[in-house]
Every structure is written in structure tokens, then in C-alpha cells.
Amino acid sequence: MRKYIYMDNAATTKVRKEVLDEMLPYFSDNYGNPSSIYELGSTSRVAVEKAREQVAKVLNAEKNEIFFTAGGSESDNWAIKGVALRNKEKGNHIITSKIEHHAVLHTCQYLEKHGFEVTYLDVDEYGLIDLEELKAAITDNTILITIMYANNEIGTIQPIEEIGKIAKENNIIFHTDAVQAIGSIKIDVKAMNIDLLSLSAHKIYGPKGVGALYIKKGLRLDNLIEGGAQERNRRAGTENVQGIVGLGKAIELAYENLDEKNEKIIYLRDRLMNKIEENLDYIRLNGHRTKRLPGNVNYSFEFIEGESILLSLDMEGIAASSGSACTSGSLDPSHVLLAIGLPHGIAHGSLRLSLGIYNTEEEVDYVVGKLVEIVDRLRNMSPLFNERKTGVK
Amino acid sequence: MRKYIYMDNAATTKVRKEVLDEMLPYFSDNYGNPSSIYELGSTSRVAVEKAREQVAKVLNAEKNEIFFTAGGSESDNWAIKGVALRNKEKGNHIITSKIEHHAVLHTCQYLEKHGFEVTYLDVDEYGLIDLEELKAAITDNTILITIMYANNEIGTIQPIEEIGKIAKENNIIFHTDAVQAIGSIKIDVKAMNIDLLSLSAHKIYGPKGVGALYIKKGLRLDNLIEGGAQERNRRAGTENVQGIVGLGKAIELAYENLDEKNEKIIYLRDRLMNKIEENLDYIRLNGHRTKRLPGNVNYSFEFIEGESILLSLDMEGIAASSGSACTSGSLDPSHVLLAIGLPHGIAHGSLRLSLGIYNTEEEVDYVVGKLVEIVDRLRNMSPLFNERKTGVK
Amino acid sequence: MMYSEKVMEHFKNPRNVGELEDASGVGQVGNAKCGDIMKMFLKIEDGIIEDVKFQTFGCGSAIASSSIATELIKGKTVDEAMSLTNRAVVEALDGLPPVKVHCSVLAEQAIKAALLDYSKKSGIKIEGLDDFDFEEDDHHGELENY
Amino acid sequence: MMYSEKVMEHFKNPRNVGELEDASGVGQVGNAKCGDIMKMFLKIEDGIIEDVKFQTFGCGSAIASSSIATELIKGKTVDEAMSLTNRAVVEALDGLPPVKVHCSVLAEQAIKAALLDYSKKSGIKIEGLDDFDFEEDDHHGELENY
Ligand SMILES: Cc1ncc(COP(=O)(O)O)c(C=O)c1O
Ligand SMILES: Cc1ncc(COP(=O)(O)O)c(C=O)c1O
């Protein structure tokens, strides 16, 4: 079979062999319900608690501050709705940013329909929020600040420690969606004054459909899923034991030799960026050049549209992603690209290549070669490019 | 190793080999995000849609009426909160029963704190609701009836078709928690006038952490998890592809040769019941003798306590469950056993043995033998039994 | 794949890409904001579309729709080109995903816009063009992000 | 397993199960509603607990707590038995899960109840018994169901 190059690690990742191996015994052998008192049940209980330790450790959290969920979206929904509903007597104001993931944005919009007020902070051309604006947005009614750790499209890393400080000084709960940051950035919830943190396994070579919410000790929020006494009465449902085991292993592995791995990925990323910039004109790097996730590359290519780039890459066996509307049949391109100030036309022509631990230098070089061909070919087909050349219009 | 006899299939089940085999390619090979347009993404999309068909088919539903969730608890929460919040202008009254699973009961209690009124219907000594009481409970404000298909502890099957008819006649939305019924009972959502139905994979030899909610076409309810456009904008989060594939396969297999399988399980169940009743005095069958799940056996043993029965069975390599409080450190025994009228003392001494497709006649006979020994031994230790014998007190 | 083989084939090898220096009529529809622009060049002689070229900024189905549309009208009469509907484009492509049907509408419109231009330049009246409505469709959904 | 090996060992092979026909004092605490009843039979001679038996209705830790408690007081003086705390029972069992600590309290109370009975019957006053409070603890959580 033709070689397949996967450069969409920000969308999801392959389950690592070590992770799958760790999970396998929990399907048909150690299948006990962790709530059961017999042997088979306690085997599952022990496995779940081990995973809880593994997650807690990398965050510098306590074991009982970690609650397992079905993924990043559930964690975000739980954190935001849970805090809002629990504190509605105290205040009804939430601060977030314009470039959050939809799991945060749509949750905020939902709350707006139910009597809450939300400030959506602007970001600059690199995708960074302004700390002064954040401070200015705080009112006596502010009950929650939710700002993502790193952006999924453009990779921009926010000044989380500073945000945590501001939240703490103002006695406001601080949630961060760290779904993209986890596994790439060292996170210390204590030092950074993070009260709530969302993460998901499938972005770090773990399985899909499992994640966690870190909830600082003592912080109360409404439950999202009521029912049995699982997760210390805070998140009901028979535990996804095999998934939780996978998350634990994946997060542990992610933080082994992190610096070394990041060094390699950053080397590949920079090589990819340099080669793209050397070989193509009329392009724009989206996101910040240094405050950027190790694996994230995002460019807009003028005069052409993102989906046609993706399809062309796919024909060459390359998997990538785009902030283009056409990917999903929406009229508007990604809210993130618009928020950093891209005109619609240019935002439509964007491409995200996200690198992971399995990518190689050879792949990077191959992708650049193909990408240059594709961009040239599509531009030659584009009326916009031809207008520019001939000076028409 | 010592032989292990698993008779707690109502708590959770082992993942069938055929199911795991179906899932395996979706961990590290076909790991694409179903929302991605490239080849690897559409492989996942196709797999998810196939599973949706498989689920729809057994329910006699349409494919686009099936929405995947993280399990039975999420489905219950979504259905109940979603309908309540969406219809709060229309009415604020919900009807349920006293023997629902906590995923339903606690959700109803949560809504009570937020301005809703809930009627908890009584059940008779067999665990059946009274249809006349149901009708009488309906008011102009009633927006939802949620009654479980079959009870997880005592196995009683409710008259779902009749309830559906009453709901329909009164133009009230009808949700049923079918987590225990699925895989044992033929369900036709159309014929039974079911508007919403919850199910979970891990009760039918599928993986933990994945389930579904059937939502009748045209029925609107609030989302529980906001975010990306997955599940047609109604349930956000990157799809648990491998889990969904497992659910699809598991449900398909569950309904293959259903009658034959049920015949075998009912034979085992009746043998187990007959032998227990022949060999032990001072016992009470909980639940209905015929309107009962094929695999469910539930007895109260007077004078002794459930956890000590479970521990003793575990020592003999037998996994079972109890409605006893002591299992979880609660003062009160199961709300289900109290609702069918058991005094606390007797409710504490209850035992559930739930049979599945892997149980054998040999196991049944072995379990009865051990159970008789255990009950005798514990009774001889019990002051209550000795009082009864000697007539003291 | 969300697209039919036919769409992919036309996306891979689009027919009649380019421009015509000596076009009798040129039409452009769509806008960059929405992510689709189609430009059609027609060379018409004696009521026959002798040659046709296109340029498209847009997604895969936009490119494929343009490509097949050029094939469908090349060598045909102006009247035949006028009667090309977006449905015919969709059918010729063995279908388009619902969210992409607007691309076929654009292709139909681009041809009509070019015919209008030809009509104006040549003074030859074309039946049915006056009441044609070049509005944008807007049956779009919500952007997925992940 | 939620229980220590010691608990399991005492659950499996409880010491001193049964009753004493000629008990000097009998005490029963707990009730069926809560799922735990312990009954202690003491045979006391010259201030020494010569024999002790128990009957328990309850969970594994209730049975193990009763069993170890009888071991801890057998052959001891009444004063020593009086000073047995639930903590000592928990420690002797190598720990109990938090939700099960009440079982050790019951064991302590059952002994004190038997000593009170003995005191009443024999007229021998025992230091510290008067102000002892036989209240039920209620640090219980929520019932899990699945
Ligand atoms: C009747 C019933 N409803 C709901 C649930 C919850 O399902 P899950 O554990 O998949 O969340 C269960 C089992 O746990 C159940 O038996
Ligand atoms: C920043 C961010 N937040 C939240 C999510 C949602 O996570 P999940 O797909 O696990 O629900 C994602 C990815 O999908 C993400 O990139």
C-alpha cells in the first residue's frame, strides 16, 4: 500500500501500542465493574485509581482532584455549566475569548440564553488575549474566567500563569481548556492557579471518548451527569475502565522525555515552516512564531481555498486539516482565523499541519514538495491569482 | 487458576471476542477523526454510521434517530434534562417511578431543585407501576414521563407499550431507560410509542463508556454537551469510534438468535430459582415471577446481611451483587427493595444473581450449593436467626 | 470519501481550465467571502459554444462542478447552454453532498453570467436571461472544529 | 479488595462465634434497619473475662470487628475491656475502609453494653460506664446502584 502521512495530530492521534497493550486486559478479562466488591471489581477499581494517579502526577494535582469524563467536550461543558449554575446567586458573568474551542464557545452561548452574560475577549493578530483587557472585563458579577491553554487551530499558547494570577487576585474561578496543551507543555495546576482543567486522551495517543476534568480541592460545581456514586458522586456512569486505563498510560508516556520529544517535533515544525516560506509566496503564518505548540503549523495561502488543498493532499496520501468553511459546508471560515483578523477570502485558504511523535524529516520534506505543487496547481486554476498576475480588477 | 463464576451480568458484562475483534482496527490503524475529510477520516465516519444502522435496526428506528453517548447515565441525563429545559415554558411536571436507576432519580431530584415538580409513582410488591395511578398523575403541566423498561435490581419489566399509549394520548413525551432491557427484549420504538430511549453497551457484551440515546424524529430537546457539530450538532465531542463500533456489533449480536438465547438463560434462571427455593427457608423472591428479565434472580435471605453473602461468594470465586446498603457504606438498603415494601432488615439481606450468555448449568448448580452453605453459616452467626429459633424477644 | 468518484476525477483532472483571450463572453459569480468564485469564458460562433474555459477559487466540488459544466456545454448551442440546470450538473457528477449543492448552482450561474455578457456585447438577445436571478444561496450549516 | 487480609481472615474464620448459656452479661447494639446488630456474651469471674462469644448480623467488617474484639478482651480484666476503643479494633484489623469504621464502633459498644448488663446484674459498679453513649453513628454516604 501507498505510504500514508498523517499530519493531523491536533485532530486526533493514533493509539500508541504501549497504550493499547495496557488497555487490552480490561475488555474481556478484567471486565469487572469497579463498583463491585468482588475480586473482578476491585481489579478494575485498582486500574482506575492507578490511572487517576497518573493523571494527577503530571498536573501536580492530588489524586482526588481528577475526575474522568468522556472527553474534552464533556469536561468543558461540565466545568463551565457546573460553575455557572452553582454560582448563579453570586454572579452571572463569564469571561472567555473569541478563539475558544466550540465546546467552550457554544456552552457559553447556551448559558447566555439562560440569563448569563459572557464577555468574549478579542485576541491580537497572533491569537493572544490582552491581560489588561481581561482585567478590565472583570466585574463584581464575574464568576468564571475560561481561557484555553493553547489553541487547536493556530497553536497559540496563552499566558496561563498570568491569567491564573489575575483570577486568583480577583477571587474568580479559572478554567482552562488544556486539550491541546496536554502532552506538549508542562502544566502545574498549583503554581499556575488553575481551578479547573479539561483534557482528552485522544490527542495524546490515547483512545477516543475519554478525558478528565481537574477540579481543585474544595471547589464545588454542579454535576453534569447525575446518577450513581461513581467519581465520588460527581460524575455518574459505569467507568470506562479500559479507556481510563488508556488515558492514564498515554498521559504518563506523554510526559516521559518530554523535552527530548519536543525538541524533535520543534525541529520538524521549523523545518516545515522554513521550507514552506522559502518555496511559496503570498502566504501568511497564522498564530505566534514562538508562543506556539511544538507541533502546530498553520498557513493561509492566498487565492486558493482550503478544502481543495486538503483533497489534493489526501490524493497524495497526506492527512491535514483546514480552517476553511468548505470543509463543513459552512459559509464562514473558522472563527479563530477571523478573530486574528484574516479577511474571509484569505481565511478560506488556510491549512493546518500538526506534527506528532511519529512524523519524520522525510515526511516533512515530502509534504512540502507536494504542497508546493498543489498550491501552484490550484493557484493556476484560480481567477483571483490570475487577476493578481494580470493586474485586472 | 481457580474457576471464576460470573453471575453479575446486570452490573456489567465481558466484551465478547467478536466485538473486540471488530473494535481493534480502530485504535491504531483506522484512527482518523470522523469529521476529517481525508481517507482516514472517512473510514471512521463509515464505521460510525454502520454502527448507527446496527442500533437503529434493532429498535425499529431510523438511522438519524440514534445519537451516541458515553453510556446509559449520560443518555438518561440528556433525555430528562434536555426535555425539561426545552419545555419549561410548557410545563414543569415530570412523572417517573420510585424504582428508577439513580441516573434517572438523581436527575429528577436535580430538576426539582431547579423549579420542576416530579411525581414518583409507587410500585406494587412486584415492582410494577399502576397504569391508573400514572393516568391520575398526569396534569396540564406534565411534559415528560420517564419509566424504565426493566429494573436493574429485581428485573421487573414494566408495561411499556401501555405507558407509551397513555403518553401519546396525552401528548406527553415518553422516555424509557432500557439499559437493562436491551439485548434481552425485542423493542420496537414505533409500535411502543417511545420518544426517547437510553441504552448502554457494557450491559450487552460491549465496551464500557459508550451508549446511545434514541430521539424520535422531530423531537427537540436541549443539548447536554455543547460544542462541535458531531452527532448532527446534538452531542459534541470527537466520536468514541472504537466504542461506537463495539456498541454496534454488540447490539447486532445481542439480537441474533435472541429467542434461543433467552430460552437457555430462562432455563438456567428457573433452575437457579427452583433450587434456591427448594434448599432454603425464610427467603423471598424479589420482583415478578414472570414479568421478569430472563437473567435476573433476586432473593432476600432473612436474618443475614447482603455484603457478607457477597464476600463469602467471592471467596468461592463467585461474583454477584446485593441491594444491601453495606456494599456502599450507606445506611439505607436499595431504594428499589424498599419501594416494593421490604422492611429494612430484610432488604439488607438481598442477593442478585444475574445470568448471561456465558453461564452454564454446572455453574448454576455449583452456585446453589455454595449459597446454601453460606446462608446457613451466616445465619448461625446471626443473633436474629438465633432469636427466631429460640423464640427470644 | 464524501465525494463520488466522478467528482474526484474532475477535481483531479479538471477539463478546460484556463482563460480565453478572445472570449465572446465572460461571467464571474460568487465571492471570496463565501469561499467560492467561478469565472467562465465562452467563445461563441454562430450560436454554438465553440470553446469554453473556467477559473475557479473554491472547494473540490466547486472545481469539479465548473469542470463538468464546461464539458456539458462545449459544442452545444447557446439555447442548450441556457437550459443547463444545476441539477444536471449534480447528476453528471453522480451526486454532491447536500452542503455542496450550492457549487452546482454557482456553475449554472457562471455560465448564465457569461452568456449575459455575450448577449450584451453582441447585442444578441437570449431567451430567459432577463429574469435570471444571480443571488447567492445560503443553505449552509455550522462550522465543525476539532 | 477493599478489606485488609486481617479482616478477611477474621471474616472467613471468626473466633468465638456463638452464645454463652451462663453469661454474666449480654449486650446487643445496632438494629436491623441499619444492617448491623452485634450481640456479645461475657462470662466474668473475679473481674476477669473468662469467656466471650458473639453473634453478628452485618457485613464483613461487622463480623470481623466482632471477632477481633472478642479476641482482644478474652482473658483480660473488666477494666481492660472497658478501655478497648474502636480505634484499637480498627488497628488490630490492619485498618477498615472509612465507610466501615462504624462497625468497629459497634464492637466497642457491644462490649460496653454487655459490661453494663453485667454491672446491673451483679451490682458491681464499673468506672466510666454511666456516661457512655450508645448512640448510632451516621457518617454514611450514598448508595451506589448499577
Ligand atoms: C437501568 C439502568 N440505567 C442506567 C444505567 C447506567 O448506565 P451506565 O453505567 O452505562 O452509565 C444502568 C447501569 O449502570 C442501569 O442498570
Ligand atoms: C482545544 C480543544 N478543546 C476541546 C476539544 C474537544 O475534545 P473531545 O473531542 O475529546 O471532546 C478539542 C478537540 O476536539 C480541542 O482541540
Share of chain D above pLDDT 70, in %: 88
pLDDT tens digits, one per residue of B116-145: 999 999 999 999 999 999 999 999 999 999
CB B209 within 8 A of CB B71: yes
The pLDDT score that the predictor gives to residue D139 is: 34
Mean pLDDT of B78-96: 97
Cβ–Cβ contact A305 with B under 8 A:
no
CB B107 within 8 A of CB B94: no
pLDDT over 70 at B226, yes or no: yes
Residues near ligand 2 with C-beta < 6 Å? A 71-73, 76, 101, 103, 148, 152, 177, 179-180, 200, 202, 211; B 237-238; C 146
Q: Which of A326, A338, A372, A384 is catalytic?
A: A326
DSSP A23-70: HTHHHHTS---TT--SHHHHHHHHHHHHHHHHHHHHHT--GGGEEEES
Better-predicted residue by pLDDT, B219 or B344:
B219
Q: Which of D99, D100, D144, D145 to mutate to test the interface with A (most CBs of A within 10 A)?
A: D144
pLDDT over 50 at D31, yes or no: yes
Q: Is B180 in the pocket of ligand 1 (CB under 6 A)?
A: yes
pLDDT over 70 at C90, yes or no: yes
d(CA B335, CA B257): 35
Cβ–Cβ contact D77 with B under 8 A:
no
CB B157 within 8 A of CB B266: no
The pLDDT score that the predictor gives to residue B388 is: 83
Share of chain A above pLDDT 70, in %: 96
Q: Which D-chain residues 12-71 have CB contacts (< 8 A) with chain B?
A: 12, 14, 17, 19, 28, 32-39, 55-60, 62-63
Task: Pick the closest to residue A72 from B255, B82, B230, B304 (CA basis).
Answer: B230
Mean pLDDT of B80-108: 97
Find residue B121's DSSP bridge partners.
Answer: B97
| Catalytic residue status for B326 | yes
Which of the four pLDDT bands, split at 50, 70 and 90, describes residue A332? confident
Mean pLDDT of B137-161: 98
pLDDT tens digits, one per residue of A73-121: 999 999 999 999 999 999 999 999 999 999 999 999 999 999 999 999 9
d(CA D36, CA D106): 8
Q: Please give the single-letter amino acid code of residue C65.
A: S
Mean pLDDT of B259-288: 98
The pLDDT score that the predictor gives to residue D133 is: 60
pLDDT tens digits, one per residue of B276-309: 999 999 999 999 999 999 999 999 999 999 999 9
Cα separations (Å) of A119 from A127, A143, A158, A177, B226? Answer: 16, 12, 17, 17, 18
pLDDT over 70 at A291, yes or no: yes
d(CA B37, CA A327): 7
Kindly give the distance from the C-alpha atom of residue A387 to the centroid of ligand 2, in angstroms, as a whole number: 39
SS3 content of chain C, % helix, strand, coil (to 5): 40, 20, 40
Lowest mean pLDDT segment, chosen from A64-73, B266-275, C68-77, D132-141: D132-141
- Please name which ligand lies nearest the alpha carbon of A8: 2
Mean pLDDT of B243-262: 98
User: Hey, are the CB atoms on A33 and D146 less than 8 Å from each other?
Assistant: yes
pLDDT over 50 at D74, yes or no: yes
Which of the four pLDDT bands, split at 50, 70 and 90, describes residue D141? very low
Which of the four pLDDT bands, split at 50, 70 and 90, describes residue B323? confident
Cβ–Cβ contact D140 with A under 8 A:
no
**How high is the mean pLDDT of chain B?**
95
For chain A, the first-to-last Cα distance in angstroms comes to 47
Q: Please give the single-letter amino acid code of residue A215.
A: I
Mean pLDDT of A138-160: 98
pLDDT tens digits, one per residue of D49-58: 999 999 999 9
Mean pLDDT of A18-40: 95
Kindly give the distance from the C-alpha atom of residue B272 to the centroid of ligand 2, in angstroms, as a whole number: 49
pLDDT tens digits, one per residue of B49-62: 999 999 999 999 99
pLDDT tens digits, one per residue of B170-207: 999 999 999 999 999 999 999 999 999 999 999 999 99
SS3 A106: helix
Q: How many residues does chain A have?
A: 393
Which of the four pLDDT bands, split at 50, 70 and 90, describes residue A323? confident
pLDDT over 90 at C98, yes or no: no
Residues of B in contact with C97 (CB under 8 A): none
Cβ neighbours for C114, distance < 8 A, ≥ 6 positions apart: C23, C25, C26, C27, C40, C41, C42
Which of the four pLDDT bands, split at 50, 70 and 90, describes residue B311? very high
d(CA A27, CA D146): 18
The pLDDT score that the predictor gives to residue B392 is: 53
User: Hey, are the CB atoms on D141 and B101 less than 8 Å from each other?
Assistant: no
Question: Which atom from ligand 2 is nearest to the alpha carbon of A10?
Answer: 16
Element (H, E) at B383: helix B383-390
**How high is the mean pLDDT of chain A?**
95
Residues of D in contact with A33 (CB under 8 A): 146
Task: Pick the closest to residue C113 from C86, C141, C134 (CA basis).
Answer: C134
Which of the four pLDDT bands, split at 50, 70 and 90, describes residue A389? confident
pLDDT over 70 at D143, yes or no: no
Share of chain A above pLDDT 90, in %: 93
d(CA D32, CA D11): 19
Handedness of CA A250, A253, A258, A263 (dihedral sign): negative
pLDDT tens digits, one per residue of D2-11: 899 999 999 9
SS3 B308: helix
Residue D7 phi, psi dihedral angles, 5° rounding = -60, -45
pLDDT over 90 at A325, yes or no: no
Lowest mean pLDDT segment, chosen from B164-168, C138-142, D121-125: C138-142
Lowest mean pLDDT segment, chosen from A190-194, B93-97, B350-354, D97-101: D97-101
With CA atoms as reference, the chain D residue closest to A239 would be D146
pLDDT over 70 at C139, yes or no: no
Q: Which of B326, B338, B372, B384 is catalytic?
A: B326
